[in-house]
Amino acid sequence: MIRGFRFQKVSLRISKSGQRVYFNTESHKDFTQLKGIALTVGHEGALYGSTFGFRIDEKEVLDESHEAHLLVFGNDVAPNRKMLLFEIPIPINSSKIEGIYTDSSLQDLLGNASYNPGGGIISKNDVNVKKTYVSGKEVVKYSNFQVDGFQMLSGSGFSIGGYSVTPAPVTVVYYPYDVKVTLLLTR
Amino acid sequence: MKNNKFQRIRLRVSSAGETIRFNAVCDKGYRTLKGIFVSLPQDKSILGSTLGFRLNNVEVLDDGHEVKNLTASNSVAPNNKFFLFPEKVDASNGSIEGRYSDGSKYPLLVDNGEDTGVFDPGKVDFKNLSGYGTNPFTVVFPYDVIINIWLTND
Amino acid sequence: MTKTRITYYPVQFIVLHPLIPVTINTVLPSHIVKITGIKVVHSVGVQNMTTEKYLPVIGHLSLEFNSKQYHFGNIEVPFDYQAEASDEFLDAGIDIQRNSLLTGNYENKVFTGIDYLKADGTVTDKWSNYIVTIYLKTMSND
């Protein structure tokens, strides 16, 4: 017997500045709805400018430039609200779940002065998050992540790429740190 | 008999990274486990700590479930402090098997200190990193964890 | 009706000068059919300029949807020193015309003193460019 809800989890380990970790997994077969998502990030300082993209069955839910800190809920938030809850649950059926976490990806955009004098919209092409879901070219294979407690080693489909980004650290970030992705599934 | 009961399970954690297994029986006379609230004396001990439990042999929260999601600070109103389960959890004759893990080694290493796996082409040896096995947020030991479970007759 | 689903679409812009307003002008992707919520945050850069835990507001943003036919109003971009977030969005219910423009203006309201701006109008090394992100909670039909 299983319950009508389940928290499905994926753990990622970020080992260096600017690192990009991609994972894919499958939603638990007994559950048909995805109701919410939350992240836990090991260092608060690591949250500034780090991004998390998320797709279900190759349909984008969170853009790759979605800031990770908007998915991390602190202790001042009531336990039942510590998730980004989807008003309309996302239907799942052993669905392909993909995520991509990029450490401090937004910082290196700060130096970009090729806009109007005051600034302007940053083109999607400039945002340091490209279509890696599709191309997979910029991601070198080597990884360590866990799905529901089972350690997974590098293999096809799991990849990490390093960027030579050295953001000005506002808060010191210690590497490595872990990122936990929690998904709320219901039947 | 009242229709609500807040039952407490108290655990003592004496060292960083300790895992405590516990068993408990839900107080008799209540049909439903409505919610749970974990109270920790130090904010620093929340990060990385996990609590999983099974009720009558059915998993309610897996062992990797973060305590962070089951607690709240004093800025949260008392009536919003409990995590309420998304469905009715039958608690009659309930027997609980639980597992609490201290997370003080977080963020360098979680998952009970296991560091298997290939991490980096540069072959980072985690055991040589400063901070390995230490207590970066300086959690003070021992401390007591109080697991509050909310039973009702709903 | 086409099947729709929730997606979150960020629009990022950079602020390069404390006194020069930023003009926003971009086409929303054609799969976005409705906007149900809006949240505006400062993303990176502000923390390079201050260690304050309280500032009134970072700036004001005025936003127009559907190629200037719908004015959402003015949004204050709050200062936020905490890394962690709340899940609150401003409620909206805007049906989006296909390939229409999202336009607007952003005015910075802080970091305008002599610490940040020289007399000749150039910025000092205390100034940091910063990024503001408009998060649109949308219904998408792709």
pLDDT, tens digit (0-9, with 9 covering 90-100), for C45-64 = 898 888 888 888 999 999 99
How near does any CA of chain C get to the CA of A117, in Å? 7
What single-letter amino acid sits at A3? R
Task: Indicate the pLDDT class of residue A156, thresholds 50, 70 and 90.
Answer: very low
Inter-chain CB proximity A47 and C17 less than 8 Å:
no
Task: Indicate the pLDDT class of residue C39, thresholds 50, 70 and 90.
Answer: very high
Enumerate residues 6+ apart whose C-beta is below 8 A from B130.
none
Search chain C and give the residue with CA nearest A91.
C5
Structural domains of chain C, ranges and CATH numbers in brackets: 5-140 (2.60.120)
Inter-chain CB proximity A121 and C6 less than 8 Å:
no
If DSSP codes are grouped into helix, strand and coil, which group holds residue B80?
helix
Burial zone of C80 (CB within 10 Å; 0-12 exposed, 13-18 middle, 19+ buried)? middle
Residue B148's nearest CA partner among B64, B51, B77 is B51
How near does any CA of chain A get to the CA of C75, in Å? 17
Q: Is A156 on the interface with B (CB under 8 A)?
A: no
- Per the model's pLDDT, the better-predicted residue between C53 and A72 turns out to be A72
Nearest to A119 among C14, C36, C135 (CB): C14
Give contacts of A83 with chain C, Cβ < 8 Å: 87
CA dihedral C112, C114, C118, C121 (to 10 degrees): 30
- Classify residue A130: in a domain, yes or no: no
Please give the pLDDT value at position B96: 96
The one-character DSSP state at B113 is G
A65, pLDDT greater than 70: yes
Please give the pLDDT value at position C3: 72
Percent of chain B exceeding pLDDT 70 equals 79
How near does any CA of chain B get to the CA of A87, in Å? 15
Please give the pLDDT value at position B132: 53
What single-letter amino acid sits at C1? M
Main-chain dihedrals φ then ψ at residue C88, nearest 5 degrees: -80, 135
What is the C-alpha to C-alpha distance for residues C20 and C107, in angstroms, rounded to an integer?
7
Q: Is B126 on the interface with A (CB under 8 A)?
A: yes
Please give the pLDDT value at position C85: 66
- Per the model's pLDDT, the better-predicted residue between B142 and A48 turns out to be B142
Beta carbons of C22 and A118 less than 8 angstroms apart? yes
Number of domains within chain B: 1
User: If you compute the radius of gyration of chain C from its CA atoms, what whole number of angstroms results?
Assistant: 17
What CATH number should be reported for the domain holding residue A142?
2.60.120
With vertex at residue A51, the alpha carbon angle to CA A46 and CA A55, rounded to the nearest 5 degrees, is: 140
Inter-chain CB proximity A7 and B65 less than 8 Å:
yes
Q: Is B89 on the interface with A (CB under 8 A)?
A: yes
> Omega before C18 cis (within 30°)?
no
Residue B90 belongs to what domain range?
A: 4-152
Number of domains within chain A: 1
Q: Are strands B143-152 and A96-102 parallel, antiparallel or unpaired?
A: unpaired
Q: What is the ipTM of this complex?
A: 0.87
Work out the number of other CB atoms within 10 angstroms of the CB of residue C118. Answer: 10
Residue C43's nearest CA partner among A73, A72, A173, A47 is A47
If DSSP codes are grouped into helix, strand and coil, which group holds residue A158?
coil
What is the C-alpha to C-alpha distance for residues A117 and C20, in angstroms, rounded to an integer?
7
Q: Is A48 on the interface with C (CB under 8 A)?
A: yes
C16, pLDDT greater than 70: yes
What is the C-alpha to C-alpha distance for residues A174 and A184, in angstroms, rounded to an integer?
29
- Average pLDDT of chain A, as a whole number: 75
- Classify residue A66: in a domain, yes or no: yes
What is the C-alpha to C-alpha distance for residues C86 and B50, in angstroms, rounded to an integer?
22
A184, pLDDT greater than 90: yes
Per-range mean pLDDT, top range of A111-120, B144-153, C77-86 = B144-153
What CATH number should be reported for the domain holding residue B140?
2.60.120
- Classify residue A117: in a domain, yes or no: no
Inter-chain CB proximity A82 and B68 less than 8 Å:
yes
Please give the pLDDT value at position B76: 93
- Classify residue A123: in a domain, yes or no: no
Enumerate residues 6+ apart whose C-beta is below 8 A from C56.
C79, C109, C110
Please give the pLDDT value at position A61: 94
Give contacts of A180 with chain B, Cβ < 8 Å: 64, 66
Say how many CB pairs under 8 Å bridge A and C. 130
Q: Are strands C130-140 and C32-42 parallel, antiparallel or unpaired?
A: antiparallel
Please give the pLDDT value at position A31: 96
Q: Is A186 on the interface with B (CB under 8 A)?
A: yes
Burial zone of B25 (CB within 10 Å; 0-12 exposed, 13-18 middle, 19+ buried)? exposed
A169, pLDDT greater than 80: no
**What is the mean pLDDT of the segment spanning B86-96?**
93
Q: Is B117 on the interface with A (CB under 8 A)?
A: yes
Give contacts of A141 with chain B, Cβ < 8 Å: none
Mutate to test the interface with B, among A82, A158, A159 (most CBs of B within 10 A): A82
Beta carbons of B38 and B70 less than 8 angstroms apart? yes
**What is the mean pLDDT of the segment spanning A132-154?**
38
Weakest-pLDDT range from A13-17, B9-13, B130-134, C103-107: B130-134
Are chains C and A in contact at 3+ CB pairs closer than 8 Å? Answer: yes
Search chain A and give the residue with CA nearest B89.
A3
Are chains B and C in contact at 3+ CB pairs closer than 8 Å? Answer: no
Please give the pLDDT value at position A25: 86
Beta carbons of C134 and C63 less than 8 angstroms apart? yes
Helix intervals (H) in B14-139: none
What is the C-alpha to C-alpha distance for residues B55 and B98, in angstroms, rounded to an integer?
9
Give contacts of A176 with chain B, Cβ < 8 Å: 107-108, 119, 124, 126
Residue A162 belongs to what domain range?
A: 5-107+138-186
Residue B30 CA to its chain's centroid (Å):
23
Please give the pLDDT value at position A118: 83
Q: Is A119 on the interface with B (CB under 8 A)?
A: no
Give contacts of C14 with chain A, Cβ < 8 Å: 109-110, 112, 115, 119-120, 122
What is the C-alpha to C-alpha distance for residues B115 and C94, in angstroms, rounded to an integer?
49
pLDDT digits (tens, 9 = 90+) for A84-122: 999 999 999 999 998 888 888 788 788 766 677 888 888
- Average pLDDT of chain B, as a whole number: 83
pLDDT digits (tens, 9 = 90+) for A25-60: 899 999 999 999 999 887 777 788 899 999 999 899
What is the b/e burial string over C83-92, where b = at least 16 CB atoms within 10 angstroms of the residue's CB?
Answer: bbbebebeeb
The one-character DSSP state at C21 is P
Please give the pLDDT value at position A177: 76
Please give the pLDDT value at position C134: 95
Q: Look up residue A78 and give its two tokens.
A: 């009531």
Inter-chain CB proximity A67 and C142 less than 8 Å:
no
Main-chain dihedrals φ then ψ at residue C48, nearest 5 degrees: -75, -20
Please give the pLDDT value at position A174: 67
What single-letter amino acid sits at A133? Y
Burial zone of B23 (CB within 10 Å; 0-12 exposed, 13-18 middle, 19+ buried)? exposed
